[in-house]
Structure 1
Amino acid sequence: MMIRIAIVVLFSLSVTVRAQQQTTDEIRMSIYFGGGSYDIDSFQQQSLLHWLDSIPNIDRYEVHLISHTDPIGGKRYNEWLSKMRSESVEQLVLQRNIPQHKISRKDWGLDDAVYSNQTYRGMQMNRRVDVILYPIVF
């Protein structure tokens, strides 16, 4: 019985360590948008493409696009806007020959805000798509 408990504890620790390693291995960049917009300005387009080109072995990463909005316009509008923003970023990522199956999206809309929507600055910071690269573990 004690051996089973020890094995379970060791397995749990191993999984925890791997999960912590994955989060520290992530690489991230954010693309910011104007209020009500899903257009990416040319400076940010070039920055994103340059950033992707600078990552060695980009084919060994999964790409997660996490989009957010501020609360202006209501829930339904922001769900649509969040989706449009992540699609805009996805189109740029695809220009770097990253296969579609390695890209995932989560469109939060106005839910799960990271910054306070009670301030203008917080709302600006919430108008974004986070591009997060996770290494694929073989």
Structure 2
Amino acid sequence: MKTLLAILCFSWGSSFSQEMKEIVKSIYFGGGSYYVDKNQAQQLEDLVKSIKNLEYYEINIMSHTDPVGGREFNEYLSRMRSQSAIDLLKKMDIPQEKIRYKDFAFDDPLYDNNTWEGRARNRRVDIQFKPIVF
């Protein structure tokens, strides 16, 4: 009986851990905007609903801008983009204390800010769902 219980616990534990993986969803913004369009909001909601065992994930928001408009404006814009993402998650009944954020403004571009395409891809919030390691 103990062996069967151990096998069941091991099997459940390994399938549980196999399901959990890091997921990143990016939300893109227009220049100078922190408005999340309905399509992107719906995609985020669908993703959140699809994550099993969400209570075992930490949620990190990383906000980025392009360099247009200067430092002060982009720091403000980055913070407002983070807040837009936080507000969306709160509407999905995710408690704010589960959400952490970091505003990068234009300090950590992933794409080339010397091109229109690069600037457009840098105007984003990345929402990371990261499994909590026990």
TM over 0.5: yes
Give the TM-score taking structure 2 as reference length: 0.83
SS in 1 for 2:121: helix
Structure 2 residue aligned with 1:83: 79
Query: Following the alignment from structure 2 to structure 1, what is the Cα–Cα distance between the partners of residues 57 and 94?
Result: 9
SS in 2 for 1:72: coil
Unaligned runs of 5+ in 2: 1-19
**Cα deviation code 1:34-86 (max 9, x no counterpart):** 00000000100101111111101111111000000000000110000000001
Identity in percent: 50
SS in 2 for 1:115: coil
2:58 partner amino acid: E
What's the offset of the Cα at 1:96? 1.9
Q: Is 2:131 the counterpart of 1:132?
A: no
What's the offset of the Cα at 1:25? 3.2
What's the offset of the Cα at 1:89? 0.6
SS in 2 for 1:25: coil
Q: Is 2:32 the counterpart of 1:25?
A: no
**Cα deviation code 1:81-123 (max 9, x no counterpart):** 0000010011111122222221000000010111010000000
Alignment partner for residue 104 of structure 2, among 93, 102, 108? 108
Unaligned runs of 5+ in 1: 1-23
1:97 partner amino acid: D
SS in 2 for 1:39: coil
SS in 1 for 2:110: coil
CA-based RMSD of the aligned residues comes to: 1.2
Q: Is 2:35 the counterpart of 1:39?
A: yes
Structure 1: 4+ residue segments shifted above 3 A: none
What's the offset of the Cα at 1:137? 1.8
| Matched residue count | 115
Alignment partner for residue 48 of structure 1, among 44, 65, 71? 44
1:118 partner amino acid: N
Structure 2 residue aligned with 1:123: 119
Give the TM-score taking structure 1 as reference length: 0.80
